[in-house]
Amino acid sequence: MRSKLLAVLSRLAALAVPLAVGAMMWELIVRGVPALGLKLFFGDTPPLKAITGQAPVWDGIWPAAAGTLTLLALTLLLAVIPGIGCGVYLACFAGRRTKRALGLAVDLLAGVPSIVMGLFGFVLILTLRRLFVPRATTCLLLSAFCLALLVLPSLVISTQSVLESLPDSLRLTGEALGLTPWQTASRLLLPAAGRGVLSGVMLALGRAAEDTAVIMVTGAVANAGLPAGLTSKYEALPFFIFYISAQYTGPDDLQRGFGAALVLLALSGALLAASWALHRSLEKKWKGVRQ
């Protein structure tokens, strides 16, 4: 009797996940698809002038989309190399004590809430303003730095886990071929772990793309226009969705918010598709299949 009850409960729990995702997607599609179009992105501004920055966009999400893409690119540059490098070091080179100490530091960083990370960035700017840079202010670079710290633990943990799950035969093969530990890690282990590492990178970027708490206090504002530089204010899709859902004045504004949410979801899907394409390319190269 108990086993049957557990079986029924497990099936219901498994069914709850696709039902929740399906309900969310249905709501977004029903409310967001009618808003899709050039007007959603550019408002009344000609698209070419809006893309090139020749004319401002007041009623579209193009500046927020451009700000999000720029923010993700900066976060990627700041987080990927340290995250993957730390994961490789923990999995392949660190001793027990070092692995324990660094693992504890990574776990503590992973437990920091996003709003606390945003407040850290804000306090960092205040400290810089008092000590070194009187004109320091919240900006695009600060948001990317805080987001990089936020997603760094997931990159480290995913890279370490994937490398440690590889069979020992790969390491033994490297030693038999006379490869140094670094050559074994870079030429054998990392290519073999490419799928898991890329998945970790894409998940980290997805987390950075949807985070609102960090950017709210580190540089994202409404109606900032296209990013003018690393030290300028900017717009982002998560902040736009939050702002318009809290300040909308009519059905049209709310529909624009759903359209922006659908665009943000499509961006996350594009990241997953890019991860799959990169994985296929690496897998073919690893197995020696001709492209």
Write the pLDDT tens digit of every residue in 124-149: 998 888 888 888 888 999 999 999 99
Lowest mean pLDDT among 30-39, 48-57, 160-169, 174-183: 174-183
pLDDT at 13 over 90: no
Average model confidence (pLDDT) for the chain?
Answer: 84
Domains of the chain: 61-286 (1.10.3720.10)
Position 78 scores a pLDDT of 93
Position 149 scores a pLDDT of 93
Amino acid present at 229: G
283: confidence class by pLDDT, cuts 50, 70, 90? low
For the whole model, what pTM was predicted?
A: 0.85
Q: Which two tokens stand for residue 185?
A: 């890690």
Quote the percentage of the chain above a pLDDT of 90: 19
Please choose, from the candidates 279, 97, 93, the residue with its C-alpha nearest in 3D space to the C-alpha of residue 184.
93
Taking the C-alpha atoms of residue 30 and residue 261, their distance in angstroms, rounded to an integer, is: 12
117: confidence class by pLDDT, cuts 50, 70, 90? very high
pLDDT at 285 over 70: no
Count of CB atoms situated within 10 Å of the CB of 281 = 13
Position 30 scores a pLDDT of 84
Residue with tokens 């923010």: 71
Nearest 5 degrees, angle CA 126-CA 235-CA 114? 55
289: confidence class by pLDDT, cuts 50, 70, 90? very low
Nearest 5 degrees, angle CA 31-CA 36-CA 38? 155
The predicted model gives 176-183 an average pLDDT of 79
Distance of CA 68 to the CA centre of its chain: 10
